[in-house]
A and B are shown apart, each in its own frame.
Chain A
């Protein structure tokens, strides 16, 4: 067969090789236009999602509460710290005892809270000698204790906590007090992030390994929506300041969105294929696994 004949054969074949049907212009435009409007115009689904904001707020509060509880238990702090009451101080003004009112009496005395040890005379002398804030013992949030007479209460300091030179003692009215001065600011954020990523990893793993029928299970979509709430919150949090983490959260959000909007038909393998493509292109699962500490188990809904 010479080139001319072969080219002719190809041309003849052209009409039959994957011959395109008439272009479904309007059907495709409807999808494209919706995507355009979704970015440019106010989202028409915003009203439907109006319940999401309070729900997201509640979820955030719940997550914070769980995180605080987890931190409290994982640090091994005793729930009711023992107070050494063996050495009551002698009479006289106790070092570190503060009054809001008249120093001579009748004022309101501030006293350190629980988880403390009483200071004896030695402690009082030590406190009296300490003049710089850096040398002051770290105080937990203080509370006012009514006192009818001159201050005779011992100063109670937080037991077992090393004073931080850069952590001035907090007093009432000086702003929110930290639960624990030794807790790094980002620890709680990191905890919530880890939990969210672990949930995402678990969901994606389940989705990838599921057959078509199971992947179309409505519970998968519900699960994805629940994680979406957390990813959106995290994207608005300081966690998203890290470019790599932000990228991972955005990729995870995209996958979750696709899963959350997956049609219920098990036969719709194209949609699943698109999700798998998104996962593959972004290396989402490996990045999630790298970001989640080994051994952390995420529970489903």
Chain B
């Protein structure tokens, strides 16, 4: 609460917050965290599908960010820099831990979560689409999740993943193509 009073979220000057954080201002650090944590956590959760892993990734992202904050030169937006760390941490976690697929095969959980969130889509199609997204190659899935589910622009995705925006578009197109194939085989006439 104190942090919010001291640094109102609207119009906050991130450069000032960063400098104050570097100077040891705990309130500034908290405000910087509050301004970005939701998006980082959401992305981490979307990619991992696991609250524990998402927390770990988010914490690791901010710990690294604060650790290397002095190296941030402001050449890009702070959020871009932060999300490049987040994506790196999440991908590293997914490659190593490999818990995502085990968690995501829990169809009962998928039914329970999805039933109230996406009305109008048949459960089987939803499950199949979910499984198809899970089966996408990692970088296709990341681009799809970031763009179609979390609303990142191709420029943001490119900056976070270290590739051109055009590459991001191409991967998104391929990801959608694969999902379309998966749905076509499963949903029959509905998907055609």
Contacts and interface: CB of A to CB of B under 8 A. Distances in A.
Contacts of A270: 52-53, 56, 97, 99
Contact of B45 (A6, A18, A273, A277): A18
Provide the main secondary structure of the chain A interface: helix
A47 B145 CA distance: 47
B93 interface: yes
Contact of B118 (A3, A6, A15, A21): A15
A17 to B, nearest CB: 6
Q: A19, A24, A27, A35: which has the most chain B beta carbons within 10 Å?
A: A19
A114 B56 CA distance: 64
Nearest to A273: B97
Interface in A1-47: 1, 3, 6-7, 9-21, 23-25, 27-29, 31-33, 35-36, 39-40
A20 B113 contact: no
Contact of B55 (A3, A27, A281): A27
Nearest to A18: B49
Contacts of A24: 41, 55
A274 interface: yes
Given A35-B63, A270-B52, A28 B58 contact: yes
A21 B113 CA distance: 10
A9 B184 CA distance: 13
A275 B179 CA distance: 35
Contacts of A21: 45, 51
Contacts of B191: 1
A13 B41 contact: no
Contact of A1 (B48, B56, B148, B183): B183
A278 to B, nearest CB: 9
9 contacts: A6-B179, A16-B117, A18-B47, A18-B48, A20-B45, A20-B46, A21-B45, A32-B59, A36-B66
Given A16-B114, A17-B129, 18 more contacts: A1-B180, A1-B190, A1-B191, A1-B192, A6-B179, A10-B144, A12-B120, A13-B118, A15-B118, A18-B104, A19-B114, A20-B46, A23-B38, A23-B42, A28-B59, A39-B67, A273-B97, A276-B96
Interface of B: 24, 26, 29-30, 33-34, 37-38, 41-42, 45-49, 51-56, 58-59, 62-63, 66-67, 92-93, 96-97, 99, 104, 110, 113-115, 117-118, 120-121, 126, 129-130, 133, 144-145, 148-149, 176, 179-180, 183-184, 190-192
